[in-house]
Amino acid sequence: MHPPQLHKGMVLTVGTGTGPATDIVTPLLKSVREARPDAVACLVSPQSAPLAQTLRERLAREAGYTPPVWETFTVADPNDLELAFTVALTAIRSLLRQGLAPADITADYTSGTKAMTAALVLAAVALGCGSLRYITGQRRDGTVVAGTERFLTLPPSAVLAFNRLQVAEELFRQLAFGACRHLVSEVNLFLLTPDDQHRREALLQAAQAYDAWDRFQYHDAVHWFERLLRTHPAVLPADLYPASDLPRRLRHLGDTVHQKRFTRDLLADLLANAERRLREGRWDDAVARLYRAT
């Protein structure tokens, strides 16, 4: 028999509520029934594990529907954020191993301890899950009152976009200007806050400027440096900005190359460029620049 073909997955935290009379199962039942995933992964504590089984039984009985794949992952200490995060990663990866794409997985963090819900959100964002879901409505004893539920669903795209800017800055500091430029250009401007929109544009201009300089395209570098200093003078960390006299010096180097002259400044730039290539482990490029310098 072939395994069932899976199209949608859901990972959800299962808590116990704030009191013995609290019905935590009903809101989760509605969430699973509404989403109708093919695979479910429940993140539970030792105390809430029986409620996950109750959820599965009620789903079969009241909705006439049982997901083909149903797994339970236990967080031994539900107040340990680091442990909960590790278990949440394991739960999501289990769904991924069964053929689901990250975009096909919803993370429902409605119930559970603060550590469990925070861990699921962090894991879902880290692994690129398609959506985060939370059930809201009127609450009694910490639980949404039946009949008042509303599903709030949001993609973690904005968080991922912000994270890509962080990664791009690190690539910049590692002198990987081309990779930085490529990553920044893929970040959707409309997923960012206004401040981060300016940060994206400034980082893109800085990467283009340094990348042009790195390829000895001095006049292009001057264009991007001047544009960066004119339009985004105080957006990026200070160490990512050029010295104030750098555009003037690069323009002079560009003029030197255009006039086919060789100067001490050009020699110094060739040697510095070769040194950067050595630091990056790009030996062939470094030797080529040293050869050019001699």
- Per-residue pLDDT at 205 exceeds 60: yes
**pLDDT band at residue 234 under the 50/70/90 scheme:** confident
The pLDDT of residue 162: 87
The more confidently predicted of residues 243 and 148 is: 243
How many Å apart are CA 294 and CA 151, to the nearest integer? 68
- Per-residue pLDDT at 249 exceeds 70: yes
How many Å apart are CA 124 and CA 131, to the nearest integer? 8
How many CB atoms within 10 Å of residue 256? Answer: 16
**pLDDT band at residue 144 under the 50/70/90 scheme:** low
Q: What is the mean pLDDT of residues 76-91?
A: 95
Pairing of strands 105-108, 9-14: parallel
Residue 243 exposed, middle or buried by CB count within 10 Å (0-12, 13-18, 19+): exposed
Tell me the per-residue pLDDT of 251-291, one tens digit each, with 9 for 90 and over. Answer: 887 778 777 776 777 667 677 666 666 566 655 554 555 54
* Residue-level length of the chain: 294
Q: What is the mean pLDDT of residues 89-100?
A: 94
Helix, strand, or coil (residue 37): coil
How many CB atoms within 10 Å of residue 97? Answer: 8
How many Å apart are CA 256 and CA 252, to the nearest integer? 6
Backbone angles phi and psi of 2, in degrees to 5: -75, 145
The more confidently predicted of residues 150 and 60 is: 60
pTM: 0.65
The pLDDT of residue 24: 79
The per-residue pLDDT of the chain, averaged, comes to 84
Q: What is the mean pLDDT of residues 120-138?
A: 86
CA 245 to chain centre: 36
The pLDDT of residue 291: 44
Sequence-ordered list of residues with C-beta below 8 angstroms from that of 144, at least 6 positions apart, any chain: 27, 110, 135, 136, 137, 138
DSSP labels, 60-109: HHHHS---SEEEEEE-SSTT-HHHHHHHHHHHHHHHHHTT--GGGEEEE-
- Per-residue pLDDT at 147 exceeds 50: yes
The pLDDT of residue 157: 81
How many Å apart are CA 102 and CA 88, to the nearest integer? 14
Q: Are 21 and 51 in contact (CB under 8 A)?
A: no
The pLDDT of residue 286: 45
The pLDDT of residue 38: 92
Q: Are 225 and 209 in contact (CB under 8 A)?
A: yes
Q: Are 145 and 137 in contact (CB under 8 A)?
A: yes
Tell me the per-residue pLDDT of 174-202, one tens digit each, with 9 for 90 and over. Answer: 888 889 999 999 888 888 889 999 999 99
The pLDDT of residue 53: 93
The pLDDT of residue 227: 93
